[in-house]
Amino acid sequence: MDFEQLLQERYTTKHYDASRKVPDETITKILECVRLTPTAVNAQPYHFYVLTGAAKDSLRPAIMDFNLQRYDGASHAVVISCLSTIDEEHLAKVLAAEERDGRLPNDEIKAAQDQSRHHFCNMHMKAGDFSAWTGKQAYNAFTTMVYAAASLGVDSTALEGIEYDQVDAILKLADKKETCALIVLLGYRAPDDSNQLTKRPKSRLALTDLVTYLN
């Protein structure tokens, strides 16, 4: 499918068909797309918790009332967490992966890459906006997730109507030096979903309102 058409047709699902579950292999493919999301200095400062069954039910107290119907109906809930701080173990893991994947052909480039990543991470730590910076990366992953899902015929909803502190507590994210950025629901829309484009057409500002060309 043309990407613009995908953008035109994807919408935020409000009502899910609780009887339909997204196959494991489809979830894996969506997550593989998410894994390839670009991040600043390739830091990949996030984690994804894929919840179904009892694990999904355990997070229900952190979902605000107006989101419970769609939370219950969705096949999967994915908690996207972002790092609230960064340690040498994570940075070393990223560097080792880059070396394994052939991005660092010699020691000089490897050292430069490591130094650059440390610089930007430390810069945001010192500025006190590290969680905000990693939160932006989490939203990059969210975007990949919902459009990858749409390309595979899976519907999605971003949940910000949640009790973030409760999510962190239930999943014990502080112990992992993480904090919840948002939750993404994945599943299949109900036939009478109230947000279908035939009922509520997509609306965006015109290109002329959003773009200025400068020469």
pLDDT digits (tens, 9 = 90+) for 86-127: 999 999 999 999 999 999 999 999 999 999 999 999 999 999
For 195, residues 6+ apart whose C-beta sits below 8 A from its C-beta are: 11, 12, 13, 14, 15
| pTM summary value | 0.96
The pLDDT of residue 1: 73
Average pLDDT over residues 7-25: 98
Average pLDDT over residues 25-48: 98
pLDDT digits (tens, 9 = 90+) for 128-151: 999 999 999 999 999 999 999 999
> What percent of the chain clears pLDDT 70, i.e. is strictly above it?
100
Q: Which residues pair with 40 in a beta bridge?
A: none
Alpha-carbon distance 137 to 40, whole Å? 7
* 20, pLDDT greater than 90: yes
Confidence band, pLDDT 50/70/90 cuts, at residue 160: very high
Token pair of 65, please?
A: 């009332």
Token pair of 23, please?
A: 């196959």
The pLDDT of residue 97: 98
Average pLDDT over residues 8-15: 97
Average pLDDT over residues 24-39: 98
Query: If you ran DSSP here, which 8-state letter would residue 200 be given?
Result: S
Over the range 42-56, which residues count as b (16 or more CB within 10 Å of their CB) and which as e? ebbbbbbbbbeeeeb
Q: In what order do the strands lie in the sheet with 155-159?
A: 46-51, 76-83, 178-187, 155-159
Alpha-carbon distance 118 to 188, whole Å? 41
Average pLDDT over residues 39-57: 98
pLDDT, mean over the chain: 97
The pLDDT of residue 212: 98
Query: If you ran DSSP here, which 8-state letter would residue 107 be given?
Result: H
CB 78 within 8 A of CB 183: yes
* 214, pLDDT greater than 80: yes
